[in-house]
């Protein structure tokens, strides 16, 4: 038997409430009138947070505050 890993990012829409699950966090994004609106909101959330993660990964470690060596 193999163990299935949970996807890094998922979302659910239950009784009008949108909930996203991203990198081990669960965040409620409020109420939406339709499944279609909730799907669009979830897509925007993931795009925004994945772009932030990629941007942070591109910064060199030495650019962090206090990490620059002063000679």
Whole-model pTM: value is 0.61
> Would residue 27 count as lying in a domain?
yes
* Residues whose CB is less than 8 angstroms from the CB of residue 68 and which lie 6 or more positions away in sequence, other chains included: 62
34 part of a folded domain: yes
Per-residue pLDDT of the chain (71 residues; tens, 9 = 90+): 455 665 678 999 999 999 999 888 899 999 999 999 999 999 999 999 886 666 555 555 444 454 444 44
CA–CA distance, 60 with 49 (Å, rounded to integer): 19
CA-to-CA distance for 20 and 42, rounded, in angstroms?
Answer: 7
In a domain, 39, yes or no: yes
- The pLDDT value given to residue 42: 94
Does some domain include residue 61? no
32 lies in some domain:
yes
Total tally of structural domains belonging to the chain: 1
Task: Identify the domain containing residue 28 by its residue range.
Answer: 9-55
Q: For position 49, what pLDDT does the model report?
A: 86
pLDDT at residue 71, as a whole number: 44
Could you tell me if residue 4 is inside a domain? no
Instruction: From 9, 14, 16, 15, select the one nearest 43 (Cα to Cα).
Output: 9
């Amino acid at each position: 038997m193999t163990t299935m890993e949970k996807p890094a990012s998922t979302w659910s829409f239950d009784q009008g409430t949108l909930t996203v699950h991203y990198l081990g966090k669960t965040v409620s994004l409020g109420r939406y009138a339709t499944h279609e609106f909730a799907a669009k909101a979830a897509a925007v959330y993931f795009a925004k947070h994945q772009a932030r993660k990629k941007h942070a990964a591109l910064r060199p470690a030495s650019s962090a505050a206090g990490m620059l060596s002063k000679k």
